[in-house]
Structure 1
């Protein structure tokens, strides 16, 4: 982790969690208790993540070479499930998840709802993809059980500027990442 990014990730998560909750998408986030700390409802973490793709990028390009072009807008958002294993997460079929007793349709619906809210909230930036961990919840059906931050998504400006996890991968310095994520908070809070 790069010094100075944890607080920005938490700023983003706190802000987005409030907006999502107002739209009926519940997260485990309860309240911020300090610059780098917050309270959350405990839910056991599942061994798989839910990934929403609005554009072809990342694993879509690696796993399905030749089918899409990088950045291609998909006709509709794609929701997929990956089993979190090393060295690379592996896709897991929805029928396997159903056999484990999971309400896959509820997970799908929560991911799509989260995507719709995030896309509106993050305008004018374009949300290419993001990943979540979703957990069953007795009161709400399901909740988002993971951080939502630039570290778990791909987010681009109309000019192609990167505001996300790919900054790390492209070798940006810590100062560059902090600058972009600070700029991102200004964009989404309209400050």
Structure 2
């Protein structure tokens, strides 16, 4: 294995067969010791967060596979906190795609003149550039097209997949009485056909979820979702 990328919450290794291995860390994003899925810095380290995030990611990726929704997932090893994935190229230097069901976080900070905290949103899709220096600025479809980050057709696929996958996650959480406020995805292109697929992870560190009006920490979310009834 060859280390090819060191990220905030996981490291990426190239395998001899052309696939990649993601090693999940116990670091989560946030600031001043407070978790924030929208932050672009590591805010704290939570013991067991890596395995918890991978466990939930495996759970969701296998559901998406059953539903025929495309991802880069091949298999996962929970004990070693690793996931084997297909090679994928990102859009530009990387995009994050947020699906919002409630007005919270950066959405509320930007649009608070009109939005009320927690008000329902209709699976609002927002794309941001992965750019720590500029604090991950939001970007529109027109700008993405004009800057040749992706085509308009690709944007439509990106948006449709975001809403479809977000709905799957939302429905699974609701089975446990959990309300999904927002979730962050990443996508890439795979193969010669450059098919757009979900990459990275689906875990508590990528979403805001509440139960009975109370925010659920990433580790607690994994326990609630994966506990056997």
Q: TM-score range by the shorter chain?
A: 0.7 to 0.9
What TM-score results when the alignment is normalised by the length of structure 2?
Answer: 0.70
What's the CA shift string for 1:48-79, capped at 9, x where partnerless? 111100110111111112211111112x1100
Q: Helix, strand or coil: the match of 1:133?
A: strand
What's the CA shift string for 1:14-56, capped at 9, x where partnerless? 0010011212222211101352112111212332111100110
Q: Helix, strand or coil: the match of 2:124?
A: strand
Name whichever of 140-149 and 49-58 sits farther off.
140-149
Rounded Cα–Cα distance in structure 2 between residues aligned with 1:13 and 1:140: 23
CA drift at 1:164: 4.0
Contact 2:89 2:190 in 1 (8 A): no
| Equivalent position of 1:37 in the other structure | 82
Q: Which has more strand, going by share of residues?
A: 2
Q: Summarize the alignment of residues 129-168 of structure 1 with structure 2, pairs less than 5 Å apart.
A: 129-138=182-191, 141-157=195-211, 159-164=212-217
Q: Helix, strand or coil: the match of 2:200?
A: coil
RMSD: 1.9
Q: Helix, strand or coil: the match of 1:69?
A: coil
1:86 aligns with 2:132: yes
Rounded Cα–Cα distance in structure 2 between residues aligned with 1:27 and 1:180: 22
Structure 1 unaligned residues grouped into runs of 5+: 166-177
Q: Helix, strand or coil: the match of 2:223?
A: helix
Q: Summarize the alignment of residues 100-179 of structure 1 with structure 2, pairs less than 5 Å apart.
A: 100=148, 101-102=150-151, 103-123=154-174, 124-138=177-191, 141-157=195-211, 159-164=212-217, 178-179=219-220
| Equivalent position of 1:7 in the other structure | 51
CA drift at 1:128: 0.6
